[in-house]
Amino acid sequence: MKKNKVKTETATIKFQSIDDVYSKYSTDKHKVLDNNASTFISESFKDMQTKSKKVLEIYLEKPCTDKEKSECKSVIRKYYKNDYNDYKEENVKLAIVSFILLFIGVAFIISLAFLNSISTPYTITIILEIIAWVFIWEFVDVFVFARFTNHIKMNKIKQIIDCEIVFK
């Protein structure tokens, strides 16, 4: 019988000190992950397999306390949770917009059916039909494709949120 061995993939980042992890605008009470660090971490996770166990190794040249390490882990997770929630919120907005587009498209089709029953000129019905299908296509584009792209981004961010963070 074959055992399911989960592959472990590691992203590595190196800092001089724990303070380099944070934005230069951070305060002692409100620390934020540095943009360059977040970009590097995101890029490091980009090509990792979906099913593998993820580890983020942080190398520090200057030692730090366990409290500082714990705080750093929570700042990293918080940064990516905020990103995740932003995409989640955007998906809700996209769903609402897409259904409005669908409703408009269906309204045009209903008005087209009504106009066909009262012998409207052919050009007007064709124009209305094109407008209806444009709105319906926009529904498909926004609801399916734009939201799907966000789901892919959310899955990548979730991998970073769920990864094990180790200091070396």
Q: How much of the chain, in percent, has pLDDT values that exceed 70?
A: 98
Residues 114-147 pLDDT 10s: 888 888 898 989 999 999 999 999 999 999 999 9
Residues 71-82 pLDDT 10s: 999 999 999 999
3-class secondary-structure state, position 19: helix
Whether pLDDT at 151 is above 70: yes
Give mean pLDDT, residues 22-42: 91
3-class secondary-structure state, position 8: strand
pTM for this structure? Answer: 0.81
Domain positions in the chain are 10-17+35-167
**Torsion-angle region of 59 (φ positive above 0: left; ψ -120 to 50: alpha; else: beta):** beta
Angle at 18 between CA 13 and CA 30, to 5 degrees: 115
* 3 confidence band (pLDDT: 50, 70, 90): low
